[in-house]
Amino acid sequence: MGKDQRRFDPALGGTLSRRALVQRATGGAAALAAVGAAGAQPRAARSAQNTDLSGKLTIWGWEAAIASLQTVDSAFQQAYPNITLEYVQKDTGDVYQQIQLAASAGSGFPDISVIEDSHLAQFAPLGVLADLTDRVAPYIDKVNDYKWTQAQVDGRTYAMPWDSGPVAVFYRRDLFQQLGLDPATIATWEDYYAAATRVKAELGASMMHLAKARGESRTFEMLLWQQGLGYVDAEGTVILDTEPRVQQTLEYLGRFWQEGLAADTESWTDAWYQEMANGNVVTIPGAVWMGTFLKSFIAPEAAGQWGVFPLPVWTPEGSRSSNDGGSALGIFETSEQRDAAWAYVEFHLGREDSQLTMYRETDLFPSLETTYTDPMFQEPDPYFADQPVRALFAETVATVPQAGIYTVDYQEMNSLLTAEVQRFALGEQDAQQTLKAAADAIRERTRRA
């Protein structure tokens, strides 16, 4: 699931970046995917009934998330006949604001809420989420390692990871063929840059989207995460201006801007979708959910035209993936039915069959690694010319490193960095000045070293 993009809705307005827009987009896509899911029966046999746990659970989430969770509910109801479920659908930004308000009021929490990783790190330390450390213990080794970082504070765990956002490069098969370009030869970011110059010279097109004045730093964050870098290191010290690889990464993006190799189009706009659909932009370094968007509403008629290759590397042993987005389920400290709530969370997110149902029906990529051996991952995907795309993501997601991107101050850091990177993209300052300015602002405002 994408990061929360709140900009769409002036009522919540929020982070002033484009938060709800993507969420609506995500919602639309997954809702579409979910249409076929209604009434679908889970494939695996379910365990015996548990009638001891009872009560009514209130679950907050946005449209796409609820649609996804509901694909498992008939099986859950069979297993726990005395637990009733009440879903409350809200806009993504509203979920966070209302958790805030409930927290200020000291009441009004649901039992369970969906929370994106980008916000989880902000909420976990506030003390409103129940400590799940002992309950999640059996799953620690079964879930993508990096997913726990956002959910943990001082070694205690406050949420159960749901889906991951492993990143790869989506590319136009037909246009690569036209250029005689084999995606297997794009192994490093230098290869990718070389391909970009050919795409510009021979096709007159752009290798990727990278907005300048209206950019959102998302690609930059993704490239940092791939290298285990971010705004801060594991100790919380700001590393934007002290870690040379951050600057090298920004300078790499700078070449795309200076040489006009990227399309300067704001994300999540009609123009942005069109350029992906009509071949003006030939690759998308993006998370797994981008594939869902392509299929469902960006280029639904382009079956067979798109393919996926793993993210190019910075160093020979580097990770061939990164992460963008992802979410988790949290149980609230105030819930009086934490056992029932945990039964719900564990049934939906801890069981391979449930996670696989949600992945198949609503395309949320499981963080639960024990699902990856399912034959479903080897199925050819007709949209991607029968390439078994799921397997590619499953193979590379294990290599995603820990990174200091989604921290307690993520919203603020992202906003401070974005304005400076926009200046850099416009050629008003160099990479070093950019990162110094962003790092200083972040240090000053978040009181970090």
Q: Which of 100, 133, 188, 334 binds other proteins (CB under 8 A)?
A: 100
Q: What does the chain come to in residues?
A: 449
Check residue 127 for interaction with other proteins (CB under 8 A): yes
Contact mark string toward other proteins, 212..231, x via CB under 8 A: xxx-----------------
Alpha carbon dihedral 319, 390, 270, 16, in 10-degree steps, equals -50
Q: Treating both helix axes as pointing N-terminal to C-terminal, what angle do 244-258 and 218-226 enclose, rounded to 10 degrees? A: 140
CB contact at 8 A, 280 and 298:
no
Are 250 and 421 spatial neighbours (Cβ–Cβ below 8 Å)? yes
Of 47 and 278, nearer to other proteins (C-beta) is 278
The reply on whether position 149 binds other proteins by CB under 8 A is no
Query: Is residue 180 involved in binding other proteins (CB under 8 A)?
Result: no
**Cβ atoms 79, 340 nearer than 8 A:** no
Per CB under 8 A, contacts with other proteins among 411-430 are: 411-412, 415, 419, 422-423, 426
Closer residue to other proteins in complex, CB, 266/352: 266
Show contacts with other proteins in window 264-293 (CB under 8 A): 264-266, 269-271, 274
- Check if the beta carbon of residue 151 is closer than 8 Å to that of residue 157: yes
Specify whether the CB–CB gap between 75 and 42 falls below 8 A.
yes
- How many Å apart are CA 130 and CA 230, to the nearest integer? 28
Nearer to other proteins, 131 or 145 (CB): 131
Residue 27: partners with Cβ closer than 8 Å, 6 or more residues away:
62, 63, 64
Stretch that binds other proteins, among 109-117, 126-134, 286-294, 346-354 (CB under 8 A): 126-134
Binding other proteins by CB under 8 A: which of 1, 2, 3, 18? 18
Q: CB-hemisphere CA count at 13 Å for 45?
A: 2
Sign of CA dihedral 14, 33, 370, 337: positive
Q: Name the one range near other proteins by CB under 8 A: 1-9, 55-63, 192-200, 305-313.
A: 1-9
Q: How far is the C-alpha of 270 from the C-alpha of 291, rounded, in Å?
A: 17
Q: Looking at 37-45, 92-100, 233-241, 299-307, which segment touches other proteins (CB under 8 A)?
A: 92-100
Q: Which of the stretches 83-91, 148-156, 159-167, 410-418 binds other proteins when contact is defined by CB under 8 A?
A: 410-418
Q: Which stretch binds other proteins (CB under 8 A): 11-19, 184-192, 233-241, 389-397?
A: 11-19
The alpha carbons of the chain give a radius of gyration, in whole angstroms, of 21
H or E element, residue 334:
none
Instruction: State phi, psi for 108 to the nearest 5 degrees.
Output: 95, 10
181 vs 416, beta carbon nearer other proteins: 416
CB of 100 to other proteins, least distance (A): 5
Residues 6+ apart with CB under 8 A from 318: 226, 227
**Residue-wise burial string across 63-82, b where 16 or more C-beta atoms lie within 10 A, e elsewhere:** bbbbbbbbbbbebbeebbee
Please say which residue, 191 or 264, places its beta carbon nearer to other proteins.
Answer: 264
Quote the least distance from Cβ 128 to other proteins, whole Å.
Answer: 6
DSSP H/E element including 34? helix 19-35
- Could you give the angle at the alpha carbon of 151 between the alpha carbons of 149 and 156, nearest 5°? 95
**Min separation Cβ 14 and other proteins, Å:** 6
Nearer to other proteins, 6 or 348 (CB): 6
Applying CB under 8 A, which of residues 45, 48, 104, 317 lies at the interface with other proteins?
Answer: 104
CB of 297 to other proteins, least distance (A): 17
Cβ-based nearer residue to other proteins, 200 or 245: 200
Near other proteins by CB under 8 A: residue from 1, 15, 25, 309: 15
Residue that is written with structure tokens 């395309």 in the block: 363
Token pair belonging to 448? 């970090």
User: Total number of residues binding other proteins (CB under 8 A)?
Assistant: 38
Place of tokens 């993210």: 311
Tokens coding 219:
């690609």
Task: Between 128 and 282, name the residue whose CB sits nearer to other proteins.
Answer: 128
Of the listed pieces 183-191, 250-258, 281-289, 405-413, which binds other proteins according to CB under 8 A? 405-413
Stretch that binds other proteins, among 159-167, 208-216, 310-318, 340-348 (CB under 8 A): 208-216
Give 262's strand partners: 208
Is 14 near other proteins (CB under 8 A)?
A: yes
Q: Which residues in this chain contact other proteins in the complex, by CB under 8 A?
A: 6-7, 9-10, 12-18, 96-97, 100, 103-104, 122, 126-128, 212-214, 264-266, 269-271, 274, 409, 411-412, 415, 419, 422-423, 426
